[in-house]
Copies of this chain bind each other. A is one copy, B any other.
Amino acid sequence: MADKVLIYSRFPKTLMKRIGDRFDLLDAAGKKPAEAFSADELKDVRALITAGGQSLKGDVMDSLPNLGAIICYGTGYDGVDFKAASERKIVVANSPGANAASVADLALTLMLAVTRRILPADQYLREGGWSSAKPSPLMSPLPGNPGRKIGVYGMGEIGRKIAARVAAFETEVAYYSRSKHDVPYEYMSSLAALVEWCDVLMIAVRAGPDTQHIIDADMLKKLGPSGYVVNISRGSVIDQQALLAALTDKTIAGAGLDVFEKEPHAPDALTALPNVVLTPHIGGHTLDSHLGMQDCVIANLAAFYAGKPLPYPVHA
């Protein structure tokens, strides 16, 4: 049987090139496999590549009768139905850590951009407001970073890199995660305590059913009118309707968001706001991050087809 690999999610072709040099790829480009290919073509597929956030349930697995491995491009795997995979003896693997620096860098970029009002500042110049001495949208100075309280929610590889970067800005850093880690930042006993304490909440928690809408209207109220939230994790962690309301009525000061509840859709009411900086889920989108993720995908696939244990397995 050939080393056929189905590309389940929609990926730019360029990102699959190195993988395609080693394996025979069938690109479903985001369609259901059974709609993109014949049953005959799919019967030889023993592995697939998916974006971890995309829903992948038993029905899709059943359309690939010989599927043995689900390989996540990236660190996330929240879209994979692990129970369904386990019942079908399908192993799951990911690309851990490869994109951590890139995602952490975007978290800092979003935090700095929204707290320094980069979008209105740039627009003020581009529209000629500065040269014609129109009132500046930046008139009232806002607090800077020294002494600012940064709350990091989640202390995996991304959370650690966010904390290390943001600490260099002379801030105070504290965190909350399920367990205490050996890191030089104060551990808060609850997410609510962290949110109550911090000026900027950086969400770096792994998404799952337990974190669904954990940042809700109450939490945003705790963050308060000079507080910012930055999310580079998954849109599901924040109740997006509550966030929209909090940004509109100034319950919080602003937000930097790379992820949304229903990607690739961000509500019009959100994209119309001046106090947000929005990016299209590009946290891991740097050259080195992609090369690292591709290395992990190739290593996982090579081990699987060689009948060896996968180097980066994940379990629910």
Contact = CB atoms under 8 A, between A and B. Distances in A.
Contacts of A279: 116, 118, 121-122, 125
A265 B264 CA distance: 38
Interface stretch (A45-53, A85-93, A185-193, A283-291): A283-291
A131 to B, nearest CB: 5
Interface in A39-74: none
A101 interface: yes
A253 interface: no
A108 interface: yes
Interface string A107-150: 01110110010110110111010110100101111111111000
Tell me what chain A mostly uses at the interface: helix, strand, loop, or mixed. mixed
Interface string A143-168: 11111000000000000000011011
Interface residues of A, number: 57
A102 interface: yes
Given A14-B140, A109-B112, A168-B168, 8 more contacts: A105-B116, A113-B113, A116-B279, A125-B271, A131-B265, A141-B286, A141-B287, A144-B289
18 contacts: A14-B139, A101-B145, A101-B146, A108-B112, A110-B118, A113-B113, A113-B118, A116-B282, A126-B272, A131-B266, A138-B285, A141-B285, A141-B289, A141-B290, A142-B286, A144-B286, A147-B288, A164-B168
Interface of A: 12, 14-15, 101-102, 105-106, 108-110, 112-113, 116, 118-119, 121-122, 124-126, 128, 130-131, 133, 136, 138-147, 164-165, 167-170, 264-266, 271-272, 277-280, 282, 285-290
